[in-house]
Chains A and B, each alone.
Chain A
Amino acid sequence: EDKVVQSPLSLVVHEGDTVTLNCSYEVTNFRSLLWYKQEKKAPTFLFMLTSSGIEKKSGRLSSILDKKELFSILNITATQTGDSAVYLCAAGNNRKLIWGLGTSLAVNP
């Protein structure tokens, strides 16, 4: 059965800390790994990764995929209170996305 597992389930940090969120997957016909941010409403797209070892960056956020070990990480440096959200990971095959449960991140001032 296809599955995506995220860890930790929740995390509390102080502003300025660096965090690493993990996502492992077992998906038949794997095609892509996606990260989304959800703040009490609809998820917003962060990254899509299809190739191993190539880091994608957007400001303080970055992500990388390891297709041999079947995992991805999302890094957030110099966290701010506005980074508080649930971060969702999804693995795509040729039909649909398989979603993890998310990591709930709280950044305290």
Chain B
Amino acid sequence: DGGITQSPKYLFRKEGQNVTLSCEQNLNHDAMYWYRQDPGQGLRLIYYSQIVNDFQKGDIAEGYSVSREKKESFPLTVTSAQKNPTAFYLCASSDPPGGPDTQYFGPGTRLTVL
């Protein structure tokens, strides 16, 4: 059963703590993306990776970090430097690289910082 999984579905953290959101895909897609969604703001791109061991900053990368050591995995770390981390985080993947084409989304992680 092919798809994208994100875990956890809900995450609560105290202010000042780093937290890592998981994203795994078994679609054999080369490109993966992280978005943040806030009410009334649409989807904003945090980071994207078009191939293993390579990634680029999106529009709102400050306070976030990623790694792409394996094709199927693209974890996102929300660091304590992110001023307003409470949001809905979506991971997506697409194929081929070099262009977005159709992106398929995971179910999302809702992060709340207390």
Contact = CB atoms under 8 A, between A and B. Distances in A.
Contacts of B42: 88, 99-102
A38 to B, nearest CB: 9
Contact of B41 (A41, A42, A48, A101): A101
A101 B56 CA distance: 23
A68 interface: no
Give the secondary structure class of B's interface: loop
A99 B43 contact: yes
B71 to A, nearest CB: 19
Given A42-B90, A96-B58, A48 B102 contact: yes
Given A41-B108, A42-B108, A96-B48, A31 B43 contact: no
B40 A92 contact: no
B22 to A, nearest CB: 15
B74 interface: no
Nearest to A104: B40
A94 B101 contact: no
A43 B67 CA distance: 24
Contacts of B104: 45
Contacts of A42: 90, 105-108
Interface in A82-109: 88, 90, 92-97, 99-102
B105 A43 contact: yes
B2 interface: no
A95 B43 contact: no
Nearest to A48: B102
Interface centre among B33, B40, B45, B103 (most CB of A within 10 A): B103
Interface in B79-114: 90, 98-108
Contacts of B106: 42
A94 B48 contact: no
A51 B40 CA distance: 30
A96 B40 contact: no
List 6 A-B pairs, minimum CB-CB distance, nearest first: A42-B105, A92-B100, A99-B43, A101-B42, A97-B100, A99-B42
Interface of A: 31-32, 34, 41-45, 48, 88, 90, 92-97, 99-102
